[in-house]
Amino acid sequence: MKKILLAVAFCLLLTNVLAQDFILKGKVESNGVVVPKASLRLIELQRSTQTDIDGEFGFVALKAGKYQIRITAIGYQSQVNKIDISSDTVLAFNLIEQKEDLREVVITGTQKEVNRLESPVPVEIYTAKFFQKNPTPSIFDALQNINGVRPQLNCNICNTGDIHINGLEGPYTMVMIDGMPIVSSLSTVYGLSGIPNSLVERVEVVKGPASSLYGSEAVGGLINIITKDVSKAPSLSADFMTTSYLEHNLDLGFKAKIHPKVNVLTGLNYFKYGNKVDYNHDNFTDVTLQDRISVFQKWNFSRKENRLFSLAGRFLYEDRWGGEMNWSKQFRGGDEVYGESIYTKRFEVLGNYQLPIKEKMFFAFSLTNHNQDSRYGTTSYIAQQNIAFSQLTWDKKINNHDLLFGAAFRYTFYDDNTPATFSQPENTYLPGLFVQDEIKLAQKHSVLLGMRYDYNSNHGNIFTPRFAYKINFDEMSILRLNAGTGFRVVNIFTEDHAALTGARDVIIKNDLKPEKTYNVNLNYLKKLYADNGNIFTFDVSAFYTHFTNRIVADYETNTNQIIYDNLDGYAVSKGLTGNLDVSLNFGLKLNAGITLQDVGLVEDNVKTQQILTEKWMGTWSVSYLINKLNLGIDYTGNIYGPMRLPLLNEFDPRQPNSPVWSLQNIQFTYRGFKNLEVYGGVKNILNFKPTRNNPFIIARANDPFDREPGSFNPVTGEPVVNPATNPYGLTFDPSYVYAPNQGIRGFFGLRYNLR
């Protein structure tokens, strides 16, 4: 009987122990860095939680037993661990960063976080390490090694520029920071260089239509600059670089935890170039002198259930000038010594707030203020642009439908001293609604349907539909088809630098109608894993864009004027682009791309090539790490086919088309010090300059105010051929530019990161 009682007592005790509730808690890290917002799921119990801003998590009321816990986080490899719970338990998990770029999470294509393989829209990703292979003082310069993307300089004197995607000019490209379209037309031309490289996590590029999600400006594509996550950023980072041209660039970044629930990341960029250079002996500066400072700050707030709340702000000040070698600020705006001087001040504030409700809804906003005070010789351009933008999105999944609803509102104030706002400042209201539905048709097939409606207070209703179809042949083989429409309102004086500089008169022939486009893009991606560990990725696209009401600048009818009008015909941009990524098991990595494009204007059944647009281009980067020496070697470059150049008349002796030209660079990086990298190398090792095979670059640099007697008709003011004073019948003009004037130069830098 005693034995029976003891057995019963033991069973009751065992049952009580097994029925006891236990606590499981711990932390998720990656190489010592906490991982917030990591998802943890107990598979057998179907219970989930997320890590907080300190990487910590917890489960309560767990019964004793053996479980499997799955851990996933954006940017890290997923893992499943077996755990045994018999008492209160504390565990630590270490995640491995996701190195396969096809597994990376992208945002730009669909306005929601999605695995790159699963995105119906092809998105190219370029990390900070990619840009470090050819270090530059600005994002504008860094984009030169992306296939199909070309930074275009628009003036030989002040070096203003924009970004071309697949041959389409800068105003057709939307540039964003953290998904906010805060880079307006003014700063697309002047302010893109002010983003601190030290705070850039990656750059996402979409080539082709994106108007249904991002609005009418995203006609040719968009560039989204993603800044670093505060929790993952180093405690301190610094990058200093100098060149033999005496360019100096400093990037600083640091973060601080000012409250248990508040983290702040701060970035500072300072660029200084004050060395006058005139190697082509035309008495004009070859390279614009610049003094630029930019401060960026990003705040992350910890909230219940890890809901998102972030704020960011940026201030930019830039003072740049170019002109005759003896120019100084006392001549600014005068007619004694020619100079182009630009003062820019810019403020930006942007934020993203997840609503405290069960549904996944986000409210995002941005405010920008851009002030510019410019002098182009005696021409004055003083402008102010303010933009307020807000957007509410609702991310909802219903069965096989992945829905996104959105409402957006943009207000733009623009005022300047040109005929564009002669009577009164321009106020534009642009409310909009959009909806997107990604439908999973089958295991390998999905379709995306989108529609956006905007109401422009000046031009009325705007409809921009979108369609995408994706086929996954297997896990590493994808075909995507994208199509859509675009609509763009043009402001000549903010987008076309040629309208402001030089001695030409600006003529707007008629009331300019908005441009409309129809776009289609076909993309195929394939990744191969060889048995020996080598990895090959192929990415090929075909694109086509058809324009109606294309606004073009006529430089040729009257060499003393620039005449703007809607094209009486249509314009086409079409071509093929391909990328190849190779990672070999002995440490060699290769990235190469080529783009073939045909961008032309058709009027009266006559087609002409668009000015300053190459017919083909190629880019490459080759990297090799010698582990024994802790030495990395990077060889990068690009090559461009001929492009039609803006000549002034039939007697202009400059080349009508650019030659095939290439910018190539080599860099050596030593990584043998703790937290410190030392790098140096040579840029433009072929020493290419656009002056090659040209008698001059700037037309009539000897007479920038067009006043030399006998050179111009005293009645009409048009240039005349005079063998003594004007043998080619030209006027002063600095718009003949297609490549940087900087030749071969060395560079040296230090890069420090403290975790």
Q: How confident is the model over 4-28, as pLDDT tens digits?
A: 555 545 454 444 444 578 889 999 9
Greater model confidence, 559 or 102: 559
Greater model confidence, 175 or 597: 597
Neighbouring-strand partners of residue 162: 152
Greater model confidence, 499 or 535: 535
- Cβ neighbors of 546 (< 8 A, separation 6 or more) are 517, 518, 519, 570, 571, 572
- Say how many C-beta atoms besides its own lie within 10 A of residue 359's C-beta: 8
636 touches 669 (CB < 8 A): no
- What pLDDT is stored for residue 598 in this prediction? 94
Mapping DSSP to helix (H, G, I), strand (E, B) and coil, where does residue 394 land? strand
- What pLDDT is stored for residue 100 in this prediction? 46
Mapping DSSP to helix (H, G, I), strand (E, B) and coil, where does residue 421 land? helix
Neighbouring-strand partners of residue 563: 507, 554
The 8 Å CB, 24+ separation contacts for 557-561 are 558/718, 559/504, 559/648, 559/649, 559/718, 559/719, 559/729, 559/730, 559/731, 560/503, 560/504, 560/505, 560/716, 560/717, 560/718, 560/719, 560/731, 561/504, 561/505, 561/506, 561/507
Q: How confident is the model over 469-482, as pLDDT tens digits?
A: 999 887 788 999 98
Residue 107 has pLDDT above 60, yes or no: no
Q: Give the HSE-up count for residue 533: Cα atoms under 13 Å, Cβ half-sphere.
A: 6
- Nearest-angstrom CA–CA distance, 77 and 97: 6
Q: What is the DSSP letter of 557?
A: S
CA-based max dimension of the chain: 131
Domains and CATH numbers, the chain: 17-94 (2.60.40.10), 226-698+733-754 (2.40.170.20)
- Cβ neighbors of 73 (< 8 A, separation 6 or more) are 28, 35, 37, 38, 39, 95
347 touches 335 (CB < 8 A): no
What would the mean pLDDT of 127-155 be, rounded to a whole number? 87
For residue 516, which phi and psi values (nearest 5 degrees)? -125, 145
- Nearest-angstrom CA–CA distance, 567 and 547: 9
List the one residue out of 399, 53, 372, 394 whose CA is nearest residue 232.
Answer: 53
- Nearest-angstrom CA–CA distance, 667 and 430: 47
Q: Give residue 229's identity as a one-letter amino acid code.
A: D
Model's pTM, two decimal places?
Answer: 0.81
409 touches 433 (CB < 8 A): no
What would the mean pLDDT of 523-536 be, rounded to a whole number? 83
pLDDT category at 213 given cuts 50, 70, 90 is: low
Report the mean per-residue pLDDT for the chain.
Answer: 84
What would the mean pLDDT of 307-319 be, rounded to a whole number? 91
Q: How confident is the model over 26-62, as pLDDT tens digits?
A: 999 887 778 887 888 888 888 888 888 788 999 888 8
Q: How confident is the model over 664-711, as pLDDT tens digits?
A: 999 999 988 989 999 999 999 999 999 988 999 999 999 999 999 889
Token representation of residue 239: 């990058």
- What pLDDT is stored for residue 185 in this prediction? 60
Mapping DSSP to helix (H, G, I), strand (E, B) and coil, where does residue 643 land? coil
214 touches 520 (CB < 8 A): no
What would the mean pLDDT of 611-633 be, rounded to a whole number? 92
Q: What is the DSSP letter of 610?
A: P
